[in-house]
């Protein structure tokens, strides 16, 4: 893994760092000497390790700020003490004073605090790395391990999140995913002033399938239905398994009338061809569908939108099943007219 290093320091400080830091196959190094620019860079593209020049204005503030950021606190911060006065005090006051300064730096936010006499660059061949340079490289190795563990944790969390939001049977998003996605779709539709609709559909007489053929056949039927729905939706339409044999489809940039057209097409796609469970069994099923479109008075979570679509679904089932009922543009025009008359 190529480790990303941000050096908060000047050009002279950068030149005193170990030569091995310039190995492009191992390290990607960038130097910034302004604290505000460093903060912006960290927020946009967090590095794995930060090497901080202690004598530079804002150095300790940068370390403290970094550890206060929960999402960035994993970044390994190495504070390199190069202040001439403190380096002089170090030799004067001895080991105990050095340890006190180190403890203070660690308490304030640094992960490592290294006392380093700046190395003077000459035209002579490079000498062996000093003990302080070896210590700095050792801390870089610690930072690399920490960054790798963080990346592994992020990947694991992403995987667990994906599992928690997916329906294991149909491989569609589940109801929990809908609870998170629908408010975002509503916010985006309102901010961009675009229409938003959704469909709720239910498999007609699904209980008879389970009672007649068993739950394994019922599960296989739901898998085949999900596959057929998914491959007959438009780009941007998102299907969810809402629960049992009930599904929700969020239709972005879709008006009431367009949602009815999509629902009727899905109703036809499901009913026109049997579902082949195996070589010996094919089952004909139909669906009942309710549609609804986002209105200004709907809540931000989508509860009222879902409830309205569900009411239309109940009407479709009560009217004999295998049909689509939903709101239309004319319906809302009529409602607005009645409200104005009253």
pLDDT, position 230 = 92
Q: Is 245 among the catalytic positions?
A: yes
Its domain, for residue 319, covers 175-341
pLDDT, position 61 = 92
Q: Tens digit of pLDDT for each residue in 110-130?
A: 999 998 765 555 554 455 567
- Give percent of the chain above pLDDT 70: 91
For the cut 50, the answer to whether the pLDDT of residue 334 exceeds it is no
Whether residues 198 and 312 fall in one domain: yes
Whether residue 169 is contained in a domain is answered as no
Whether residues 208 and 244 fall in one domain: yes
Whether residue 168 is contained in a domain is answered as no
Whether residue 299 is contained in a domain is answered as yes
Among candidate residues 134, 163, 192, the one where a domain is terminated: 163
Whether residues 150 and 236 fall in one domain: no
pLDDT band at 249 (very low <50, low <70, confident <90, very high): very high
Q: What is the mean pLDDT of the chain?
A: 87
46 Cβ contact list (under 8 Å, min separation 6): 72, 75
Closest CA to 326 of 218, 220, 201: 201
Whether residues 50 and 92 fall in one domain: yes
Whether residues 267 and 317 fall in one domain: yes
pLDDT band at 338 (very low <50, low <70, confident <90, very high): very low
Whether residues 21 and 114 fall in one domain: yes
For the cut 60, the answer to whether the pLDDT of residue 332 exceeds it is no
For the cut 60, the answer to whether the pLDDT of residue 85 exceeds it is yes
Q: Tens digit of pLDDT for each residue in 253-306?
A: 999 999 999 999 999 999 999 999 999 999 999 999 999 999 999 999 999 999
Whether residues 139 and 252 fall in one domain: no
Whether residues 186 and 121 fall in one domain: no
pLDDT, position 331 = 60
pLDDT, position 116 = 77
Please, how many CA atoms are within 13 Å of residue 61, restricted to the half-sphere of its CB? 8
Closest CA to 221 of 211, 232, 230, 210: 210
Whether residues 57 and 159 fall in one domain: yes
- Residue 294: which CATH number? 3.30.70.270
Whether residues 21 and 150 fall in one domain: yes
Rounded to whole angstroms, the Cα distance separating 329 from 332 reads 5
Whether residue 170 is contained in a domain is answered as no
pLDDT, position 342 = 25
- Give percent of the chain above pLDDT 90: 60
Question: Please, are residues 173 and 239 in contact by the beta-carbon 8 Å criterion?
Answer: yes
Among candidate residues 102, 137, 163, the one where a domain is terminated: 163
Question: What would the mean pLDDT of 311-321 be, rounded to a whole number?
Answer: 96
Predicted structure pTM score: 0.61
- Residue 44: which CATH number? 3.40.50.2300
Q: Tens digit of pLDDT for each residue in 167-225?
A: 989 999 999 999 999 999 999 999 999 999 999 999 999 999 999 999 999 999 999 99
Indicate the Cα dihedral angle 128, 130, 131, 136, nearest 10°: -100
- How many structural domains is the chain composed of? 2
Among candidate residues 131, 163, 195, the one where a domain is terminated: 163
Annotated active-site residue in 98, 128, 171, 245: 245
């Amino acid at each position: 893994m190529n480790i990303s290093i941000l050096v908060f320091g000047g050009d002279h400080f950068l030149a005193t760092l170990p030569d091995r830091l310039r190995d492009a196959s191992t390290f990607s190094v960038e130097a910034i000497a302004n604290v505000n620019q460093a903060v912006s860079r960290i927020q946009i593209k967090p590095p794995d390790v930060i090497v901080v020049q202690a004598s530079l204005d804002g150095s300790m503030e940068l370390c403290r700020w970094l550890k206060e950021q929960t999402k960035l606190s994993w970044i390994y911060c190495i504070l390199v003490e190069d202040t001439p006065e403190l380096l002089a005090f170090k030799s004067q006051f001895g080991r105990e004073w050095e340890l006190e300064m180190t403890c203070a730096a660690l308490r304030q936010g640094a992960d490592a605090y290294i006392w380093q006499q700046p190395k003077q660059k000459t035209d002579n061949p490079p000498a062996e790395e000093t003990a302080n340079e070896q210590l700095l490289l050792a801390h870089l190795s610690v930072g690399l391990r920490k960054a790798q563990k963080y990346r592994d944790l992020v990947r694991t969390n992403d995987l667990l999140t994906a599992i928690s939001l997916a329906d294991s049977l149909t491989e569609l998003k589940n109801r929990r995913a809908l609870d998170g996605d629908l408010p975002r779709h509503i916010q985006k539709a309102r901010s961009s002033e675009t229409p938003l609709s959704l469909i709720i559909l239910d498999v007609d007489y699904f209980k008879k399938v389970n009672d007649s053929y068993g739950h394994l056949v019922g599960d296989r039927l739901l898998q085949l239905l999900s596959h057929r729905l998914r491959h007959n939706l438009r780009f941007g339409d998102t299907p969810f398994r809402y629960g049992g044999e009930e599904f929700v489809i969020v239709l972005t940039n879709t008006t009431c009338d367009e949602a009815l057209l999509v629902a009727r097409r899905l109703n036809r796609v499901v009913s026109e061809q049997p579902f082949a469970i195996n070589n010996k069994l094919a089952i004909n099923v139909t669906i009942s569908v309710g549609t609804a479109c986002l209105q200004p008075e709907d809540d931000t979570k989508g509860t009222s939108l879902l409830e309205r679509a569900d009411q239309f679904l109940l009407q479709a089932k009560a009217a004999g099943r295998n049909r689509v009922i939903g709101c239309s543009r004319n319906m809302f025009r009529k409602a607005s007219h009645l409200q104005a008359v009253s």
